[in-house]
Chain A
Amino acid sequence: MSDVKISYYDGTKSVKTIVDEEVPYPDGKLIVSRTDTFGNITHFNQAFVDMSGYGEDELLGKSHYILRHPDMPAAAFKDLWDTIKSGKKWKGYVKNLRKDGKYYWVYAVVVPNVRKGKVVGYASVRRKPSRTKINECIALYKTMLAEEQS
């Protein structure tokens, strides 16, 4: 267990307790959430609550980066935002941080919610990833993170 300072894209920082323990993604479940165009959470399903470890009141209106794990490179999220802001679908493997400091891996797909030609928010659906892909991402993200910190 260790305390790590995390810097977010909007300049805010927070100290999170990190526990090096994976929580297995449950078979068959989808985690669903929706944000406004700024990335603030507006909707979520029960699986989101269960896996994140946060209460509903702690999630609603908060930035989605509440789940950001320090092992995730910033470049991955930049790619996500650049992609969805251009109106396209983004897919990728993400290590998420739970409230209790543990983590869980997901395969995430994010799409813009387009209404009458205008993006009004983003929908994100996470599903169980393959262990092979997770292992590939552990190595890749470690390299990316080292480059970012050098």
Chain B
Amino acid sequence: MTLPHKRWGVCAGTAVFSAIFVSAAWCDGLATGRQDGPTDRPILVAEAHAKRSSSKSDAKPQQPPSSTSAQTQLPPRTPFTAAEDAVATIPGIPNARFWADSEADFKNALPADPGPWLALSSGGEDGAFGAGLLVGLSAAGKRPDFAVVTGVSSGALMAPFAFAGSRYDEALKKAYTTVTAADIFEAGGSTGESFVNSWPLRDFIAKEITPELIADVAAADHAGRRLFVVTTDLDAERNIVWNMGAIAAHGGEDARKLFVQVLLASASVPGGFPPVLIDVEADGKRFAEMHVDGGLGGQFFVAPHSLMATTSDYHLPATALYVVVNTGLERDFKVVDRFAPSILTQAVGAAVKVDTRLMLTLSYAVAKRSDVPFHVASVPPSFDMPSQGSFDPKYMGALFQVGFEQGKGENAFSSEPPPYPSGTPKPPANHTEKTGAN
């Protein structure tokens, strides 16, 4: 009941806006269809049907469903103003979050004592690299006890495990080496807000984020460490930093649900996956904000951009800054099809790499002026294993191993951002590009 994925290589190499999943959706579509053009598809389906039914003289073509569609009518949203959204809080958990551009709130949320910080970037299935790196650091006995861990998109999904410590390494490895596309999305189940439905990922997160893990996150928060996850409030066009330790410390089913919602939202590429509606309250009025992938505001998070700016004199209250980039940063050459998803995938993929590099440059600059050691790791250019599809366990397992060996080795991190590419881009491996270049 499935078909070969001849086109995986076209777009599996690019996860839109940093994260995961639009590439999966697009690749899925491409893999099951087009060879010569998007308009071929309905005709070919009809032809195939005719071929199958030609032996039956009374066979009649099946009509596409009309009013019987499973696509549901979504309820209208409660209207609210920018002023209301600006002061909205999570009912019962007032310290659950703050605007990512709020310098004061950011400083107030930081630990009292400085320590090493870890920023985990977007990257979709290439998050297997970061997961492997963290586990490799543990294996070598050199993983710092991070005072602050931040996560965006795929980085957000691994952040609770990284924050809670090496006792979750096996769970982290399992999550990034055994997952398949079926665990992430469902095709054909769109609510009208996106290409695919993400309920499998939601359920996967809910399963992996165990009560024990939430309790450990809460305990670490109580001990003065901080776990931050970034989403994008699409209504406000602003990023929000979620204080996951505060949410975990609140406890209860509402907090657990919010914890999962935030992780899902952070990894929900708009258009690819449905947005996540999060209930908030402002001046006694309840409404729901629309949250999407945190990568819209940068592929990883260190501090508000105004504090990161080269014009700022802000000093990071950290003893070291570690950045794990769950992507390769080299250009990937391909002759792009004259086809909207291919064009957008390649275009956004290129933009994500540029954004990641600029963020790295900014992070390096703020670390340098803060006299804070800078450490960065990214998917090595030498890794060019092609993927057989989105969330290909073999591919992810291989990338995990690359990260593991790097983390365990002597040179897990570089002290400067990777050099900017120059000259001719690297050719694709075996005419098939690796998955998740972002």
A and B part of one assembly:
no
Partner-A contacts on B (CB < 8 A): none
